[in-house]
Amino acid sequence: MSLREGRGPLFTDHYQLAMAQVHVREGLADRLAQFDYFYRSNPDYGSHQAGFCVATGLGPLLEWMQDVHVTDAEVDALSRFTTSTGAPVFEPAFLDWLAEHGHFRDLVLEAVPEARVVHPHLPIVVVTGPLPQAQLLETALLNMLNYPTLIATKAARIVKSAKGAPTLEFGMRRGPGVAVDEAARAALVGGFVSTSNVQASVALGVQSAGTHAHALIQAWMADGRGELEAFRAFARSAPDDCVLLVDTIDTLRSGMPNAITVFEELREAGHTPGGVRLDSGDLAYLSVQAAKMLDEAGFTEARIVLSSELDELTIWQILTQMADEADREGVDWPRLRGRMTYGVGTRLITSEGDGALDGVYKLVGLQDEHGEWQPAVKVSENPVKVPIPGRKRAWRVYDTRGHATADVITEPDATPFADGQPMRLHHPHRDGAFRTIAPSEVSRVEPLHEVVFDGRTTPPTVSPSASGDLATLRRRCTDDIATLDAGVRRLVNPHTYHVSLDDRTKAVQRELVARARSSVTG
């Protein structure tokens, strides 16, 4: 077996198998359980912070869940795991169960559709199914949602900072192994227009994008032919959309004049040059100077592509400096801003500043032997780690301006404001902290969950609205972000958007915590 065979159900933590063995042994293999996937805090990059996340990864997760099954070879490998005394780690009865039930065909998932805006503590996915199988899914689900959500969130922020200019994903050379394919998809969901990743683009049915590297110029130089001839060779191969990298020798004294010479030749031959790429130096200063040189030569539409350790903060800073310098240099600032393109790599694909989303998957309910649902809770010394117990629904409440103002968790049979009365929205962890909202302040209440996967049908049912093609996902993301208050969208020190509990959900949580605590102190 090779590390590059992709994921199966054993793409999981060892302890999931250890627990599943207990479930099977103790007669709990058919008990239905409910697990919630949620995260606790938005990414905090240090000097800047996310005010929301873009839920990403659901489509690939559901596609994967449809047909994976533990293989005989894997069961055989597990049968040879031994304890320190030489006994088998996994009992034959459990391995038989795993060979038969090592799949996700008994699970049902309700979820917030992919590419929507989500917030801390909102149950993004609710998994219901037999306890050991739902447990087994934990690791893969977290893995397949946490990282793409982190990257789509960062991408959406970079798109915002670029103020309408296109952004390209360039991260695969320093990104985390084969996960760069997942990151490319996430970047496109978050609003990037393209990726340099050819394989991911082909798989996703889109076109990859890119220019050329310094190596092209170096090769021509080593061959005694120099930068201008290298540019000419590249232009012969790509006369349309020709973007030339101008910083190999000296951006303003060599790269730009040579690029303009080649652009003039392209223009004479009836082509429209694409533009130039700047990959080092003071990018703001060089952009303004490059724009000036291009304008003087009549290439007012040629684009200026920037790369080199960009992220939302560096783009913001570059734009700020450019605005100042453009004025001083007599360059038309709105036009300059509009002709920019940003290639963003390492800092996007590693989510520079906060490299992991703290998404968790928590047991919140279990059917008892009579088939009654019992809520489950974890009593932690840290109150922020107490999950929202029991079966539930999630809603988004919009104010009279059409802005999303709060997400609310209720019990499954409740609908917010159905009684026409004001509603208390309780803080999920701070007891006694609540806000009251009147029906007159509300323009719309939207259910956030839908059934996105039912593995019990043959073949499994996947809701078409759970995910979608890239254009659909990108639009959904953009539209959802547009409903947020400007303060929540802010790149630095954003307002906190609250996910709240209604009265009954809060009461259940409070009671369960008290009961668990009393089992210790009482």
- Looking only at residues 231 through 250 of this chain, which bind a second copy when binding is defined by CB under 8 A? 233-234, 236-238, 240-241, 247-250
Question: CA 204 to CA 206: how far, in whole Å?
Answer: 6
| Site residues (CB under 8 A) for a second copy, limited to 343-372 | 346, 349-352, 355-359, 361-363, 365-366, 368
Question: CA 23 to CA 30: how far, in whole Å?
Answer: 9
The number of CA neighbours under 13 Å toward the Cβ of 411 is 11
Regarding 65 and contact with a second copy (CB under 8 A), the answer is no
Span of 6-14, 101-109, 291-299, 482-490 interacting with a second copy by CB under 8 A: 6-14
Contacts of 486 (CB under 8 A, 6+ apart): none
Span of 297-305, 317-325, 379-387, 500-508 interacting with a second copy by CB under 8 A: 379-387
| In 48-130, alpha helices (H) | 58-67, 72-79, 92-101
The number of CA neighbours under 13 Å toward the Cβ of 115 is 24
Query: Least distance to a second copy from the beta carbon of 514, Å?
Result: 13
| Contact criterion met (CB below 8 Å) for 48 and 313 | yes
- Measured CA distances, 329 to 89, 289, 323, 325, 412 (Å): 73, 8, 10, 6, 62
Span of 130-138, 411-419, 436-444, 457-465 interacting with a second copy by CB under 8 A: 130-138
Total number of residues that touch a second copy (CB under 8 A): 137
Nearer to a second copy, 2 or 436 (CB): 2
| Site residues (CB under 8 A) for a second copy, limited to 437-456 | none
| Contact criterion met (CB below 8 Å) for 303 and 339 | yes
Q: Which amino acid is at 227?
A: E
Measured in degrees and rounded to the nearest 5, phi and psi for residue 366 equal -145, 135
Contacts of 96 (CB under 8 A, 6+ apart): none
Residues 255, 259, 260: CA angle, nearest 5 degrees: 120
Span of 223-231, 332-340, 420-428, 436-444 interacting with a second copy by CB under 8 A: 223-231
Span of 102-110, 193-201, 287-295, 502-510 interacting with a second copy by CB under 8 A: 193-201
| Site residues (CB under 8 A) for a second copy, limited to 71-100 | 74, 77-78, 81-85, 87, 89, 91
How does 353-380 read in b/e, with b if 16+ C-beta sit within 10 Å? bbeebebbbbbbbbbeeeeebebbbeee
Query: Least distance to a second copy from the beta carbon of 8, Å?
Result: 6
Regarding 468 and contact with a second copy (CB under 8 A), the answer is no
By rule CB under 8 A, what string of x and - marks binding of each residue 138-177 to a second copy? xx--xxx-xxx---------------------x-xxxxxx
By rule CB under 8 A, what string of x and - marks binding of each residue 249-288 to a second copy? xx--xx-----------------x-------xx-------
Interacting residue with a second copy among 40, 69, 292, 378 (CB under 8 A): 378
Regarding 11 and contact with a second copy (CB under 8 A), the answer is yes
